[in-house]
Structure formats: C-alpha cells, structure tokens
Amino acid sequence: MKIKDLFKNGVQRLTQAGIPEPELELALLLAHVLNIDRTALLLAGDKALDDNQLEKVEILFSRRLHREPLAYITEEKEFWSLPFKVSRDVLIPRPETELLIEITLKTIKNQCGSPQEQTINILDLGTGSGIISVVLALELPAAAVTAIDLSYKALKIAKHNAKRHKVAGRVQFINCNWFGGISLKGKYDLVLANPPYIARDILEKPFGQTCESLQPEVGGYEPHLALDGGERGIQSISRIAEDLEKTLKSGGWFFMEIGADQAKEVTSIFKGKASYDNITIHNDYAGLPRVFQAQKK
C-alpha cells in the first residue's frame, strides 16, 4: 500500500474514532515509523510500504484508536521547540506549561535585567519529564537547578532529557516528596511547580459522564500520581504553601500552574500567609486562569 492511500484510510478511521487533528496525528505516527520528518513524508506519498512497515503502522495505529496518547506511542513530545522523551511515568508536556515558563522568564528579566548572566538558584517541584528544569537551564546559563519528584521512574526520564539537551551538569535530581529531601533555609531565588491539581472526583468520572470528565487519553493513560490533587484539586497546592516560605529567599519568586477553576481558592491560600506580595493570576491563551505567581517579602 502506498503512503498516500494509507494516510487517507487512516485519517478516516481516526475521524470516526473522534480523535482530534487526525491528519497531524497520523503524519506524526507515520514519520515515527518510517524514521523521517514530516516534510519528507509529504514528498513520499507514492512510496509503497513493505509488510513489516505496514504491520508496525497497524500495531501503533491500533493503540491510538484505543485512545492511548500519541506521545506515549512515539515516546516523544515537542516542547519549547525541542524534542523530549516521555513515557507513561510522566505527564505529556502541554502548552500551559510553556506559558508558565514564559511568564517566569519575563518576570525574572524585568526584575534582574540580564538573568542569563546571574547565578540563580531554582527549585522545580515535581519535575516529571524534566521539561521545566531543562528549559530554564538552557535559557538561564548561569542558573543552578534542583529538580525533585516522588516518582523514581519519572526522574529517570528527566535525567535522560537533561543529558539529551546537555544541561545534566547543572541540574541536580532528588527523589523525594515535595520538600522532604531539600534544605528549608531560604536557599532558592525561584521556585516553580506544576503540581497535581485535578479534583479526585473528576479524575474518577468516566469520560463523557459530565462536561468536567477527562479525555480518555488523560484519565486512562497519564499517571494519576501527577494528576490527582485530592479534594477540589488543592491537596498538593496546600502542602506546597506550607513549606514554600521556608525555601524561598527574601524577594524570591514562586510560579505555579493551576486548574482553570482554582484561581480564587489558591489566591486565598497564599493571601492567608503574611509572607507573600505581588500575588497575581495570569490567564492562558484561552483566557482561563492558569499561572499563579507570588513573591516572598
């Protein structure tokens, strides 16, 4: 079968399964199987696949039809225009986290002038695949980054990504639960977090039961350890708020990705403590509250 015929058939099947952006999904899958980029794929429409290639395509295609995320099938996801290794032990990188980094870098630049030349101690809480740590280490060459995660398997992926992007020497990885394995002596200039913030009752609802229930790709495949925020999704956020002020330097900044319905409650948690100033919520590209920031007095 020629690639163009396989592509046409595959798009129809993905569309019938209700999978968004079927053309893009199939192009990425075929490019992965054939080990070529998408431009080369477009030019190879008349090329016929051999039986081994067709079998591999069908196996991976079947996984996608069962709503396994494409990133887990290809074991890679682009983030910050860079390739990152992913597995089912880590969340799949999303645009919301790119926004978190963009806002962080903009704020630090406004405060420090040229942060690329200054030594900045950064703490990445719940690093997962390591995307935040790796990108900040690349964007801030003088920074020293500490990345923690409760999942040892997630840290293996993060270490791989740090090595892949040549920043492993400036990122220290620690296997611990939030602040359990680090100093609480005001060491860090900058702390970032993308904690579990999905309410447990939403996480447990079957897809389609309500408008709040998760897509099957999320609820059925992504690690619940990184999703389950407990009651109302704020269990981990409240835990972070307890020890954060002991970790940040005076004048240090905290940035955190939050759920779109959590702005009021998260703001209340931090305003209830006397240690913070410049508390702000930033909206994402859809106009939804997404990034929380605060500065230690």
Ranges 176-180, 199-203, 213-217, 265-269: which has the least confidence: 213-217
Q: Is the pLDDT confidence value at 205 over 80?
A: no
Q: What is the mean pLDDT of residues 172-179?
A: 94
Greater confidence, 92 or 209?
A: 92
Residue 213: its pLDDT value, please? 64
Give the C-alpha separation, 125 to 148, whole Å: 6
Paired residues of 122 in beta bridges? 145, 190
Greater confidence, 108 or 184?
A: 108
Position 43 confidence tier, pLDDT thresholds 50, 70, 90: confident
Contact 209, 219 (CB under 8 A): no
Measured CA angle at 106 (ends 157, 104), to 5 deg: 40
**DSSP 8-state symbol, 37:** -
Residue percentage of the chain with pLDDT more than 90: 77
Digit-coded pLDDT (tens) for 106-161: 998 887 666 666 789 999 999 999 999 999 999 999 999 999 999 999 999 999 99
Q: Residue 17, Cβ neighbours under 10 Å: how many?
A: 12
Q: Quote the crossing angle between the two packed helices 263-271 and 235-247, to the nearest 10°.
A: 40
Give the C-alpha separation, 57 to 67, whole Å: 15
Which has the closest alpha carbon to 122: 25, 26, 255, 212? 255
Give the C-alpha separation, 129 to 275, whole Å: 31
Residue 211: its pLDDT value, please? 43
| Mean per-residue pLDDT of the chain | 92
Give the C-alpha separation, 287 to 6, whole Å: 39
Token digits of residue 104: 């962080």
